[in-house]
Amino acid sequence: MLGDLPENAAVTLTFNSVNCHHPCHKCLVEREKLNNVELTNDQIILKTPENMRCLVEQNSAQQYSLHDMKNIFWNYPQLNIYLSTIPDRMHHLDLGLFNYQVTYTRVLLKELCGQIAVDELDNRLAKIPRFPGLKIFKNGLENIKRFTANEFRNMMKNLIKQWAKSFIKLFKEYSLSELQLPKLHNWCYHIIKTIREYGAINGFTMETYEFLHKEAVKIPYRSSNKRDLTDQMIKSVYRKEIIKYLLQRTNVNRRKQKTLMNSLLGTFNLQDFDAFFNNYRSNNSLAREALTALEYFLESLNEFLDLCEGLTDNETINISCDVSISMSEEESEDYNTAEGGACFGKVLMLINVKIIEKDLSFDLALVQWYDFCNSRQLYKYDCPWLKIINTYNFVPIESIIELVQVVQRAERQNEYFVNTFMF
């Protein structure tokens, strides 16, 4: 049964107030212990229909922050209403707990260290490199009041494990309530059991229904003239779905026409390399990585093709991302590698090399390599600890295992971490 805290309190007949003696709708923890992160399972008495019925019959409901009445769900012995109440992720976490934690942290930083600390937090968030599925806040958190639930959730992907417990330990002494928050207590002690019982927390959300309510009710209502509302709203939604369907069919046709490599620069013979790129460079503004790729292109390609004779080539060029590349067991013995024999590099360019006379074709990636900062300490903070080096090679694309996110260490010129917490 999904719901926010007031809805969960309503169905469990618990007082809907953070100031009552037992504000949690799942257990009988006292308000003073809501911020205690060291509680054991034996110290947390879970609510059940049986023990709550006893409290009501003994006229102790008020003492335990319960409404003095029988809960209709007690009539169904196969249902534990207290176990069945699941926090709605959007209200409980994305717009509730996460919002409060980040906002409170920013206010506290400003009070203790001034605006310079808040600006530094924004700058570090903005410098996190892009990665598929991870939203980057280029302007920091200055527009936090206008953030949506999805933006709060994306932001929390950047934060450390067990954030809730660390937050209590760090900021409890600065809070007037000492962070005695039912949502935080629920997150620390009840969410794991709920996940084991019902599955991943991504499914505990009403966001889909909230979105449909906005798209199919609120927006059509506001765009109507408020006469014959139902008919106007139905027609508005119907037309929108038709347009959406037609656009999807159009996009499918466009996708079929795409080449295997995106951002195609062109096709040229190898002897025309200088002329092609000099012309391209004069007509376009190239990123630093692209200029580096052009500088080391011929040298690296020659190294790769040393065993090939009779070279009369065409190249299909594509321009950059961090990747994890696998080595064989024999190769990995000569180098420091991460678990599974993986090493790391930045892809600067993708090419397809065709050797016409030999009827050969290679899909290659020009890679600038990372090395470990310390040969004796390969990991720091449970992440590969890297530095980028001036070594460039073409490698077969099939040797690339996966994309990884490499994050520069704050205030260090050439130190990077592989974000292992996303994989």
Domain CATH code at residue 288: 2.30.30
Does residue 113 share a domain with residue 66? no
Task: Give the H/E segment covering residue 401.
Answer: strand 400-403
Torsion of CA 181, 182, 183, 187, to 10 degrees: 110
Does residue 276 share a domain with residue 356? yes
The model's pLDDT over 70-89, given as tens digits with 9 standing for 90+, comes to: 999 999 888 888 888 887 77
Rounded CA-CA distance 62/22 in Å is 10
The model's pLDDT over 139-164, given as tens digits with 9 standing for 90+, comes to: 555 555 555 656 555 554 444 345 66
Tell me whether strands 360-372 and 342-355 are parallel, antiparallel or unpaired: antiparallel
Does residue 220 share a domain with residue 151? no
Look at residue 403 and give its three-state secondary structure.
Answer: strand
Give me the percent of the chain exceeding a pLDDT of 70.
76
Does residue 77 share a domain with residue 13? yes
Rounded CA-CA distance 43/185 in Å is 13
Side chain identity at 246, as an amino acid letter? Answer: L
pLDDT greater than 80 at residue 109: yes
Does residue 269 share a domain with residue 418? yes
Rg (CA), the chain: 29
Give the phi and the psi of residue 286 in degrees, each rounded to 5. Answer: -100, 145
Q: Which of 271-280, 308-317, 393-402 has the lowest mean pLDDT?
A: 308-317
Does residue 163 share a domain with residue 53? no
Distances (CA, A) of 401 to 81, 383, 390: 46, 17, 22
Task: Give the DSSP letter of residue 400.
Answer: E
Rounded CA-CA distance 348/364 in Å is 11
Q: What is the pLDDT of residue 338?
A: 59
pLDDT greater than 60 at residue 369: yes
Does residue 251 share a domain with residue 233? yes
Give the range of the structural domain holding residue 51, as residue numbers without chain letter: 2-87
- Taking the CA of residue 392 as centre, how many other CA atoms within 13 Å lie in the half-sphere pointing to its CB? 18
Q: What is the pLDDT of residue 162?
A: 58
Distances (CA, A) of 114 to 108, 118, 225, 236, 372: 9, 7, 50, 50, 36
The model's pLDDT over 234-286, given as tens digits with 9 standing for 90+, comes to: 988 888 888 888 877 766 554 444 433 445 666 777 777 788 778 877 777 77
Does residue 213 share a domain with residue 203? no
Does residue 38 share a domain with residue 24? yes
Rounded CA-CA distance 399/393 in Å is 13
DSSP string, 145-161: GG--HHHHHHHHTTSPT
Last residue of a domain, one of 62, 87, 112: 87
Rounded CA-CA distance 138/123 in Å is 8
Does residue 232 share a domain with residue 360? no
Domain count, the chain: 4
Does residue 43 share a domain with residue 143? no
The model's pLDDT over 184-218, given as tens digits with 9 standing for 90+, comes to: 777 777 777 777 777 766 677 777 777 788 888 88
Does residue 60 share a domain with residue 199? no
